[in-house]
Amino acid sequence: MAALTLSKSALQDQRRKLASYRRFLPSLDMKRQQLAAERAKAVAELQEAETALAGFLSDIGERLPMLANREIDLGGLVELVSLEQDRQNVVGVWLPRLVSFEVKAKDYSWLGRPAWVDVAAARLRDCVELNLRVRFARRRVEILEKGLRQITQRVNLFDKILIPRTRKNIQLIQVYLGDAERTAVVRSKVAKRKRAAAA
């Protein structure tokens, strides 16, 4: 940090800085509040998606207990053919957004696998969809938490460091200038007395 100059121009400069810090702080704090609200909404969406996935997996376990049979290979039964995503600007933070996707069951021998594999393939497509939604929701929460952390650091920088330091600088310069002014007045009075005594 540069040494503080104790002058009237430095005082004006510090006052300008203080005014700009005070002007920016409310907008930063508003952004922080909006990001906190968005993060809370994203956390709720993530919990909803995770609950839906857990319920779905529990339901599959009850309806298709045959999935526990490891002898029947279900690997590669469905595949994610396409995934389209874009970005969404939420209060200055870019979040990934799932636009569309396509999940397709791979061709398999109907005679070589049990009949319930058709139902399992359809349910696996739904499971892939729920997994994608959970993954995107989790990523959105992570990005929002990072953005909230950064904006909170900025708010704290302005509120707890820059504004108090600038106020202290202003006070220091004012005290110095006041002392210098009093010293000048006292010197002029002493010089005036000496001139009067000499005359």
Digit-coded pLDDT (tens) for 35-68: 999 999 999 999 999 999 999 888 877 777 666 6
Polymer length of the chain: 199
Q: Please state whether beta strands 78-90 and 93-105 pair in parallel, antiparallel, or not at all (unpaired).
A: antiparallel
Confirm if 119 and 128 have CB atoms less than 8 A apart: no
Per-residue pLDDT reduced to its tens digit, 23-38: 999 999 999 999 999 9
Structure tokens of 66? 């045959």
Q: Would you state the pLDDT for residue 110?
A: 58
Cα distances (Å, whole numbers) of residue 3 to 18, 92, 161, 168: 18, 35, 17, 14
Residue ranges of domains in the chain, CATH in brackets: 8-193 (1.10.287.3240)
54/66 Cα distance (integer angstroms): 18
Say how many C-beta atoms besides its own lie within 10 A of residue 150's C-beta.
13
CB 172 within 8 A of CB 6: yes
pTM score, two decimals?
Answer: 0.76
pLDDT at residue 68, rounded to an integer: 63
What does the block give as tokens for 161?
A: 């460091």
Those residues with Cβ within 8 angstroms of residue 67's Cβ, 6 or more apart along the chain or in another chain: 60, 61, 74, 120
Nearest C-alpha neighbor of 25 from the set 149, 161, 146, 168? 161
Residue type, 97: R
Alpha-carbon distances, residue 170 vs 3, 5, 156, 161, 165 (angstroms): 14, 11, 20, 14, 9
**Gap between the Cα atoms of 158 and 32, Å rounded:** 13
What does the pLDDT read at residue 48?
95
